[in-house]
Each structure stands twice: as C-alpha cells, then as structure tokens.
C-alpha cells in the first residue's frame, strides 16, 4: 500500500482542477490541515474551519482519493462540528477499516 504525503495529495487535487488546498480557499474558510491517516480503510485528513475570528473552530474528517484528487467530507461526519480530539480519534479508526457508528451515537 502506497503511503501518500500531503504534498502529493495537494498536487493531485490541483492537477485535477480542484481548489480544496488553494491559498485563497484556505484563507476564505480559515482552514487548517491536520493530521493525515492512512490504512486499509483509506486515506483520511482532519481539517478545521473557523468562519470568523470570534467563532468556534470546528473539525471535520475528509476522505481523500489521491489518484483522482478528490477530497470529500466523510459520510456521517458532521461538517465543522467536532472537537480536534474526536475528529482525530475517528479518522484514525476509519483508516484502520472501522466504520462510524450511527450519527446519534456520535453526539458529544
């Protein structure tokens, strides 16, 4: 199994004509890229966004398809609603092949 770097993922995203990692996009959403998790379950990335300097910074798990450059929010993961520790915990489990439980079970 190939181990992807964030640099390779960003390049694939750009080459495919997507703008997920563009500096203007990152600045607009006040996005930060967290840890990259890889395993038999796939490639996952934790991101965070903060919509104003006074709002809460929320975390989201993204599934990455390096071959196509796609970056999508994981089904069942609420956008921008998790803490860093919760998003990282579940991203690691997803990479190991686990599945997210029913959304109701994920509420804090």
pLDDT in tens, the chain (108 residues): 788 999 999 999 999 999 999 999 999 999 999 999 999 999 999 999 998 777 789 999 999 999 999 999 999 888 888 999 999 999 999 999 999 886 545 555
Query: DSSP alpha helices (H): ranges in 1-108?
Result: 6-15, 23-29, 84-95, 103-106
Cβ burial 60-91 (10 Å sphere, 16+ → b, else e) = bbbbbebeebebeebeebeebebeeebbbebb
pTM of this structure: 0.87
d(CA 78, CA 73): 8
Question: Which pLDDT does position 9 carry in this prediction?
Answer: 96
User: For the chain, which residues make up each domain, given as ranges?
Assistant: 6-97
As a 3-state breakdown, the chain gives helix, strand, coil percent values, each rounded to 5, of: 30, 25, 45
């Amino acid at each position: 199994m190939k181990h992807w770097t964030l640099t390779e993922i960003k390049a694939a995203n750009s080459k495919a004509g997507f703008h997920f990692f563009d500096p203007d996009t990152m600045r607009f959403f006040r996005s930060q890229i967290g840890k990259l998790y890889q395993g038999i379950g796939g490639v996952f990335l934790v991101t965070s966004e903060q919509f104003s300097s006074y709002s809460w910074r929320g975390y989201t798990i993204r599934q990455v398809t390096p071959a196509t450059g796609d970056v999508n929010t994981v089904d069942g993961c609420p956008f921008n609603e998790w803490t860093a520790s919760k998003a990282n915990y579940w991203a690691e489990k997803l990479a190991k092949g686990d599945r997210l439980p029913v959304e109701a079970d994920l509420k804090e």
